[in-house]
Structure 1
């Protein structure tokens, strides 16, 4: 197990190194000059531009800037925001809790709804239920997050007043959940369908296996057979879709946080991109890459827990 985990962590570290180079380089290929945004509407002189470039070390060789940035990033230091004149690490840490709450709540909603719907449609394949699930899945996949956000705000915030329109809440856990309920549902709408589809297909596939028929012939109840032989074997593809869902939720926070005016990392990324705030964009994108790598590693480890043959096959 330790050897398997070491190989996965090494592969993730290499992927992160390559991704960090791409993230840093892509920012300097983007159109626009950060010095122009620093100056703003003030009068620009060659001396002022040269002073700013020297202050932020924008004239240093590319590789030198990259290694300096990477060394600081490993220590959790990403420099200073060009627009807000604050520590990038401080800006991110102040908003990280909101994004973490939003992603966790949306993931719980997506998994709970997706697995329940998928198990029901897979275990009891009735025409009416199957058609209803297919329509709901298609509608959810076809609805972008910003559209569902507008609809939820109109119906349950402005229309009924049941939920707050904007803000992430503070203080008690109940208050935060109350503020993040609509954003979490909006974020999860497009992803529960993936889990439901995967769960339904996996359940039906396992129900048709020979060992399931054998277990039923031996006198085991249908509930025992479903729990021991069907659901357990179906968990591997379900966990795969769960990992994809978690990664997709992390990436989708930017749209939802902007729609609901949440003080999260995703909203910070949107404002930084609009203002060409390179240090903030680089830090947030690198943080997203790290999150994706951690999710993939966690899913690989979960595979070995659900099915030891995965580990044995990797070792061979």
Structure 2
């Protein structure tokens, strides 16, 4: 319980500092909310004064931030400057797609990366191991948006197996999830292979073989003892995918949080950007907390 309270307190401090940083960066970025709202229309003094009064732009930045923070603590994320819709409703419409994409990508990465890591560890130094390691390095080196474009050209345009863009079900999310999973497969292969190789070299494995225990049973215990670094890699994969969805959603024209963030930053829609930064921070903190809890379940010594 004490551990959870410490982690929650640390998360609150990180969220506070990040929200301050994002708020300040938006105000020092080129352009202004007035220019964005007016577009090509003439900027008369009365119009500018009305916009400043409507969005409290004449107040100091610190006052504007405290006003936003007070609204968040009261359950109000504000109203979008671009659309006039409540920010909470906008996030509620976009969040399921992004979470589904990240979950699907994590599943594909785990189904491919973990078995390949085990194969590489069991065939250490052989051709299969070298191929697995090479595939992992290639996956880690490939940016998700570049992989997405390649998948679009090959499987959507040339072969016509998948839709080019948009939503419509699991089939529409397969190529975006695969683009996200490419780099994650490389990370899982690297961590799982290294962890299992280290465990297979331990004395208890040699003793188990000497006692005549079956190979699958020994492998089970070795794999179980290598779960801590694998959980670390899984946490990094999920948090990396949350960040990687920005470019992938734009590439595949998916109406998720990533594309919303790009549009909001371009429009300087401060309430939406702040809410997205807050939500992503909370999601990443929740993933890290779950990984820490998984440590204690995988290895009881971690609880001490």
Compute the TM-score of the two structures, normalised by the length of structure 1.
Answer: 0.92
What is the correspondence of 1:253-264 to structure 2 with a 5 Å cutoff?
Answer: 253-264=245-256
What secondary structure is seen at the aligned counterpart in 2 of 1:165? coil
8 Å CA contact retained: 1:27, 1:282: no
Which of 290, 298, 304 is equivalent to 2:296?
304
Q: What displacement does 1:76 show?
A: 4.2
1:14-55 deviations in Å (ceiling 9; x for gaps): 222222222222222222211111111111112211111111
1:153-208 deviations in Å (ceiling 9; x for gaps): 11111112111111121xxxxxx111101110011111110010000000101111
What is the correspondence of 1:141-220 to structure 2 with a 5 Å cutoff?
Answer: 141-169=140-168, 176-220=169-213
What number of residue pairs does the alignment pair up? 304
8 Å CA contact retained: 1:198, 1:241: yes
1:281 aligns to what? 273
CA distance in 2, matches of 1:15, 1:281: 17
8 Å CA contact retained: 1:243, 1:299: yes
What secondary structure is seen at the aligned counterpart in 2 of 1:78? coil
What is the correspondence of 1:284-295 to structure 2 with a 5 Å cutoff?
Answer: 284-295=276-287
CA distance in 2, matches of 1:63, 1:276: 17
CA distance in 1, matches of 2:208, 2:5: 38
Compute the RMSD of aligned alpha carbons. 1.4
CA distance in 2, matches of 1:33, 1:241: 41
What secondary structure is seen at the aligned counterpart in 1 of 2:160? coil
CA distance in 2, matches of 1:3, 1:128: 49
Q: What displacement does 1:126 show?
A: 4.6
Asked if residue 40 in structure 1 is aligned to residue 39 in structure 2, the reply is: yes
What secondary structure is seen at the aligned counterpart in 1 of 2:113? helix
1:173 aligns to what? none
Compute the TM-score of the two structures, normalised by the length of structure 2.
Answer: 0.96
1:123 aligns to what? 122
Where does structure 1 differ by over 3 angstroms across 4 or more consecutive aligned residues? none
CA distance in 1, matches of 2:74, 2:108: 34
8 Å CA contact retained: 1:167, 1:261: yes
Q: What displacement does 1:278 show?
A: 1.9
- Unaligned 5+ runs, structure 1: 170-175
